[in-house]
Structure 1
Amino acid sequence: MQEKNLMDNFLRVIKYQDNIRGLSSFVNFEDKTRVMSEFVDNIITISTKPFKRKKREALDEIANDQNELFEPGTTKSDPKTATISEIPGKLSDFADMGSMSNVISKLQKMALPEKWDLDIEENIKSNRHQILLKYFYHAFGRALVTSQIVVDECRTVVIFNTGLVDCHYQPIYVFLTKNKPRSKQEWKFNDFFVLGSGIGKRILEHFNPCDLPKAPQYFDDICDLVYDFRKGEPTPDYHHCIIDNIHRWPQSVHEHECPAEWAKIKDEIKPGIADKEKSELFQQLRNVIKENVTVYQRYKLRFDSSIDLAFKKVTWNYKTAVPMYWSIDKKIHLLLPLCLDTEDRVDAALVVNKTAKGYIGDTLFTLDMAYANARLVCRPECEWLST
């Protein structure tokens, strides 16, 4: 019976260690006799010690003073991490974030300055920082997919990396603590932090530096970030880009190519209108373009000319193509600038997808949509795409 208990405990330790470290070959099971002997003689030591933990107060019982956040008596010698078995796909299901507007405002003030507002938000003060809000939700989702959400072994603290930095280029982390019992979400938002400041002063009492989560990465192959002009111009989906997404074309084009139908709806196009709602308003104009070959050809001519110009630009300067992350297929795509009205002004972006034989122009984005998706990968540093 004693030998059986030892074997059971041994297997429990191995299973725990394998879950924590992700090791598939932690023990050479071909040499079971030697391993069991070492285990029985207490030679094997497992640093995570899953069966005996020191009792301490839960970290979600936080004082107002950040310096009192951690229990002073906690040891500094052996910080540990564990894994969360199941994490909901939505941040709102995983953690109680409180007021998201306050959370995003705090992050915006802490991060390296950049413009996080869409152009249409200048007159909509209650809907600020939509680019940052989209970025933050995707940062959580990417951290989930890449297993970059960590919890201390006592399951009182959760951390993930926002991918943003402060003015000293120190990574900004999200700090979550245990929620109240019987709450909908197991965790709740507490604060943001950087190492060495505020909460970050003592975070290493609970996490090894090597255990801190990495910034979200949206690509595996760096070659996906560059347009290979040797594959030629992209082949566009004309119907989707011209007919389905005609509402994303610049208004000045409609004034020239389809003035009668444009006059009927132009007063209904308000700043900040949702993409779906705007698309519905364009249904009649869409039908005219679809049924009138002459009108369709005029739009197509503009479209082809803008793609030709974009390809010339990317051939001359590879930085013209801007990488973006598309959450629909969870892949990296490239954005090419389109000058649909005049050659001296970019007014839309073509989303291109790399294939084995070339590139396909999948869809058309407004510049706001293009920037918001490109910002997930990194802050765009190009002349044509800016907020």
Structure 2
Amino acid sequence: MAGASDLYNWANCTDENRKLNDLASLSFPKEDWSGVERPCKSVDKNLFVLWKYIHHTFGYLTKKEPHKIFENSNYACFNTGLETEKYEEIFAIFKRVTENDKFELVGFYEETNNILNVIRGKLPEPANYIINPSDFIFDATKEMNYSLNHILDERQGRLPKVIKTIPEDYREDVIVNRMRNAYRRLKRNYKLAIPQYSPRHDEIQLLIPVCVTKKTIADCALAVRKIDDVYIAKTILTLDMAYNNARLITRPDPEWLQPLKDANDIKEDDIIGPDES
């Protein structure tokens, strides 16, 4: 179930759309941050992925690395993890007028900007998702098990629409075949596995491309985690969901993970703005 953003609970983000547009212009390399709809009522759809990136990044820092959110009586700041064309880190800075006020988002600025002089010397480091480096590399010597009941019964809506044209008695065979093919591809090229941070489960997982409709084009992704000597395919994700989660760590290689921007994408377990609840 979706929940309110930690950032909105902590600070006011007045004129957020303009400030996120400024961030998109400032960051490099240029990215397509858009989606097919608004992430919340006050932010345009062309900032869909960036909005999720900023809010999930703050949520991760709140839960895992709160020391990387600088805060004093008047100012607060966190590192967005993005950088400019000149490789300067970009920070979100906040201000409040009185002690009882919530912080207010001032905007996003490169590290040499004079507006950051008020907290110069205290600029925090970016979020660190690499706790165990081995979690980021697929080990082809490990077996893989699949949560078939979860994928087919509870998450079938995340599979390509072509699945609904297949008689139910044969769907499981088709999906199992496609997942096994995905595993075989990984054994030949482990780099196809892309790390993601799952905000819901608060863990690093690997995304594996699954080609259902066409043999060479991924149209969904398996999210797997390693438990002891076995990979467990926990769930299936749409490419839009997979891209949003993977982008929290780094910009995904577009070899296979490109969002489809489907207006009917599933939005379970995601964050929402206060005006959506």
Question: Which category describes the TM-score, using the shorter chain as reference length?
Answer: 0.7 to 0.9
Give the structure with the higher percent helix: 1
Q: Does 2:137 correspond to 1:226? A: yes
Amino acid at match of 1:173: F
Amino acid at match of 1:317: N
Name the counterpart of 2:258. Answer: 386
Name the counterpart of 2:48. Answer: 130
Give the structure with the higher percent strand: 2
Q: Secondary structure at the match of 2:248?
A: helix
Deviation, structure 1 residue 173? 0.4
CA distance in 2, matches of 1:229, 1:220: 21
Report if the CA contact (8 A) 1:237-1:362 is conserved: yes
Name the counterpart of 1:177. Answer: 95
Report if the CA contact (8 A) 1:320-1:382 is conserved: no
Of 131, 134, 154, the residue aligned with 1:244 is 154
Of 17, 25, 40, the residue aligned with 1:101 is 17
The number of aligned residues is: 249
Name the counterpart of 1:301. Answer: 173
Q: Secondary structure at the match of 1:252?
A: helix
Report if the CA contact (8 A) 2:74-2:97 is conserved: no
CA distance in 1, matches of 2:160, 2:76: 45
CA distance in 2, matches of 1:168, 1:327: 30
Deviation, structure 1 residue 158? 1.2
Task: Provide structure 2 residue ranges, at least 5 long, that are not aligned to the other structure.
Answer: 260-277
% identical aligned pairs: 27
Deviation, structure 1 residue 344? 2.2
CA distance in 1, matches of 2:93, 2:44: 26
CA deviation string 1:234-282 (max 9, x = no partner): 2111111112111111112323x14xxxxxxxxxxxxxxxxxxxxxxxx
CA distance in 1, matches of 2:57, 2:139: 28
Q: 1:126 to 1:148 in 2, by over 3 A?
A: closer
CA distance in 2, matches of 1:229, 1:250: 27
CA distance in 1, matches of 2:112, 2:158: 46
Deviation, structure 1 residue 378? 0.7
CA distance in 2, matches of 1:95, 1:179: 13
Task: Give the TM-score normalised by the residue count of structure 1.
Answer: 0.60
Name the counterpart of 2:124. Answer: 213
Of 192, 206, 209, the residue aligned with 1:337 is 209
CA distance in 1, matches of 2:113, 2:156: 50
Amino acid at match of 1:323: P
Of 179, 183, 186, the residue aligned with 1:311 is 183
RCO comparison, higher one (Cα < 8 Å, 6+)? 2
Amino acid at match of 1:96: N
Aligned CA RMSD, in angstroms, stands at 2.2
CA deviation string 1:162-191 (max 9, x = no partner): 0111122211001111234653x1x11112
Q: Secondary structure at the match of 1:133?
A: helix
Deviation, structure 1 residue 361? 0.8
Q: Does 2:61 correspond to 1:143? A: yes
Report if the CA contact (8 A) 1:142-1:217 is conserved: no
Deviation, structure 1 residue 193? 1.3
Task: Provide structure 1 residue ranges, at least 5 long, that are not aligned to the other structure.
Answer: 1-88, 259-294
Report if the CA contact (8 A) 1:302-1:341 is conserved: no
Deviation, structure 1 residue 151? 2.9
CA distance in 2, matches of 1:136, 1:345: 29
Deviation, structure 1 residue 104? 2.0
Deviation, structure 1 residue 320? 0.3
CA distance in 2, matches of 1:378, 1:193: 20
CA distance in 2, matches of 1:249, 1:199: 47
CA distance in 2, matches of 1:182, 1:156: 11
Name the counterpart of 1:158. Answer: 76
